[in-house]
A and B are shown apart, each in its own frame.
Chain A
Amino acid sequence: MAPADPGLARSADAGLGPDPGPGPGPDPAAEPRAPVIELVAAGYTYPGPPPVRALKPADLTIWRGEHVAIMGPSGSGKSTLLNLIGLLDRPTEGRLRIDGIDLGRASERDRAAVRARRIGFVFQSFHLLPHRSAVENVMLAQVYADLPRRRRHQAAMAALSAVGLAGRPDSLPTALSGGERQRVAIARALVNHPSLLLCDEPTGNLDSAATTGLTNLLGHLHEQGTTLVVITHNPAVGALAQRQIKIADGVLTETAPSAAPGAQEAQEAAEIQEAAEIQEAAEIQEAAETQEGGHDGALAG
């Protein structure tokens, strides 16, 4: 199916088979931005009794390189949404696509494969293995992604460097602060170069200083091109995202991006631009009318 809209992913080639690895592929420069996550009328109902519609059918598209915040009170369905995107649950209705691969009804094998290689998870309670060092925790992600053992340590150390913990790879989680533990978790989520970083209340267990540090890190990663989806109830954290999606009672609404500081300027610039264009158009119109002064007004628009 050749999509007319270049914004939609090409799912024709998105079969599941042996990964050719980083090899020849379509030229990234010529590639239009592709969606990482697509929910099409996707919803989730907990079986009863009584059945609970935790997520009403929703459409959501998240593009590569975006930083999206999903915000809502507890019980609003944001955990359900996270579980759907993270392939921990299947939508009971609608479709779900990740990297163009239809996964709502896919086998557990395929879903596990995508979880291993395309999605990186960061949890509120970190979920580090307490008896293993930082670098060993990061390497756990490489076990199921089947990275050859020889290359694991090097890749894990690179990931720890990216989060600023290169100096403490052998520390146990108990010896690390909350913020440092979350950084290890982020390194673990990133070590397999996933398409998407999914964060569930990443600053929920951190103090304000660590929260600031973490949001800076996330912003830094975003600047480098990581696609970020952050579930948070902290407005300050949510405000840093390009897009904010509010969720309440299982319903998604996208708020205007004016809430974001960067978008504020963009909005103003857009308004100025618009005003300028209108002004320009008006001037051209006037000039045209002046020029045609002799004609009768029948042709004037």
Chain B
Amino acid sequence: MEPWLVDRPRPAVAPSRLRLPDLGSEALAGLLQRPARAALTVLGTVLGIGGFVAIVALSQTAAGQIGRAFNLQDATQVTVRDSGAARAASPTLDFPGDSDARVAQIHGVVAAGVWWQVALSKASVSALPASAGGSPLGLPVIAASPGALTASGAQLAEGVLFNRFHQDRAENVAVLGPTAASELGITSLVNQPAIFIGGQPFTVVGILSGDARLPELHLSVIVPENTALKIWGPPARFSVAQMLVHTRLGAAQVVARQVAVALRPGNPKLLTASAPASPAQLRHSVTSSLNAVFLALAGIALFVGAVGIANTTLVAVLERSGEIGLRRALGARPRHIAVQFLAESTALGLFGGLLGACLGVLAALAVSVYQHWTALVDPRIVLAAPAAGAIIGLLAGLYPALRASSIEPADALRR
């Protein structure tokens, strides 16, 4: 039988070691000793990381949906307001006479025109001359340049819109909005009808069926801009002129920046251009408002998870002090003990991060399916989640590991 001792003085002793595969199997065995406790510990991290992933994914999804719900109309419109006239002492029109042409030259502009509502002191619109009796209607009268009608996307039921001839010669012509036409009892242009505004006759050249961008036109009597200027003068302060610019998709931001300078290069501050928020801006505002609130909540859950891991690992260290003493007696150095418990806490965090990432993605997916959204998930977030969990586990385990390494084997084994 082999003698159980090699009777040879061995002059050198190699240091004791803890190899990486052994570290892995020892840490795993340590965790699986108490699977239920490990599962509960991991829960906090799962919730925290899962929350983060779900929130980020949902905010990205929602922002992506901004494109879908995006209003094409709003995105292709710039409004320029005569802010100078609003501040002026007397009625003013700061838009130059050739505004339509100037702005139409800007790259990305489809059509543009100036309009305002004429300030009439009393109801003045009538289908019959004053002498014929009948009370005039209080229909609004809108002065509009030809470009404004084009830009508004006005559709004609009958007749024509004004053109440059009407504008240049300040003709007394009018276009009726559909409701205005019915109010005035004018349904057809066959008989070349006329209306009277403040007793002045206007020939009706067109009746609208609808428009896209200026709902004000529905109920209004629309006259050329120069005609209005001739008869009633510049717009009043409470009803200043505006320019409506129809732009190509994506050009609104750029056009808005240029239009004031194009119209009044000497004093662009008289005019104020406003464009709708770009899709990118909208997305950013959506993500940032969602993120701020919910990430804070997820952060709290994550903190709770980290505390859970720290607590569980510390309890394990104290419970297993006999095991620690045994390992030291078997040749483990304090650093081996520390690293073993650090590995356990890191494994808990890593597992929590993995599970959290899966659940977070599933949650975002479920919500997206329910809302008929297109789920968007940045893969970097999904990959970073387990790493974040591992780091949290590592940090949470630092103090317990330190405690473990300072346990004196003699004391631990005595118990």
Contacts and interface: CB of A to CB of B under 8 A. Distances in A.
B3 A224 contact: yes
Interface stretch (B164-172, B328-336, B367-375): B328-336
A109 B15 contact: yes
B414 A79 contact: yes
Nearest to B15: A113
A165 interface: no
A25 B9 contact: yes
B14 interface: yes
A112 B12 CA distance: 13
Interface stretch (B21-29, B224-232, B256-264, B393-401): B21-29
B337 to A, nearest CB: 10
A132 B33 CA distance: 9
B3 A225 contact: yes
Contacts of A131: 29, 32-33
Interface in A1-45: 9-10, 13-20, 22, 25-26, 28, 31, 34
A195 interface: yes
B380 interface: no
Contacts of B122: none
Interface string B1-37: 1011111111111111111011000100100110000
A83 B408 CA distance: 11
Contacts of B18: 143-144
Interface string B322-343: 1101111111111010000000
B409 interface: yes
Contacts of A13: 11
B323 A162 contact: no
A121 B16 contact: no
Nearest to A126: B326
A79 B409 CA distance: 13
Given A31-B9, A112-B16, A221-B4, A144 B332 contact: yes
Contacts of A117: 13-14, 16, 331
B410 interface: yes
Interface string B269-282: 00000000000000
A12 B3 CA distance: 28
Contact of B333 (A14, A16, A109, A221): A109
Contacts of A281: none
A223 B94 CA distance: 117
Interface of chain B, main secondary structure: loop
Contacts, number: 146
B7 A112 contact: no
A26 B14 CA distance: 19
Contacts of A149: 21-22
A15 B330 CA distance: 21
Interface residues of B, number: 42
Nearest to A200: B413
B16 A145 contact: yes
A88 interface: yes
Given A121-B329, A144-B332, A145-B331, A190 B11 contact: no
Contacts of A110: 13, 15
B266 to A, nearest CB: 85
A110 B16 CA distance: 8
A105 interface: no
Contacts of B9: 9-10, 25-26, 31, 34, 99-100
Nearest to A131: B33
B38 to A, nearest CB: 13
B5 A195 contact: yes
B48 to A, nearest CB: 29
Contacts of A112: 15-16, 328, 331-333
A49 B14 CA distance: 38
A127 B5 contact: no
Interface of B: 1, 3-19, 21-22, 26, 29, 32-33, 322-323, 325-334, 336, 408-410, 413-414
9 contacts: A65-B5, A88-B328, A100-B9, A113-B14, A115-B329, A117-B16, A123-B326, A145-B16, A224-B5
Given A64-B5, A65-B7, A99-B13, 16 more contacts: A10-B9, A18-B12, A25-B9, A25-B11, A79-B414, A86-B329, A109-B15, A117-B13, A127-B325, A127-B326, A140-B327, A143-B19, A144-B16, A144-B330, A193-B5, A226-B4
Interface of A: 9-10, 13-20, 22, 25-26, 28, 31, 34, 64-65, 79, 83, 86, 88-89, 99-101, 108-110, 112-118, 121, 123, 127, 129, 131-132, 140-141, 143-146, 149, 162, 188, 190, 193, 195, 221, 224-227
Ranked nearest first, the 6 interchain pairs of A and B with the lowest CB-CB distance are A116-B331, A116-B16, A144-B331, A19-B14, A13-B11, A225-B5
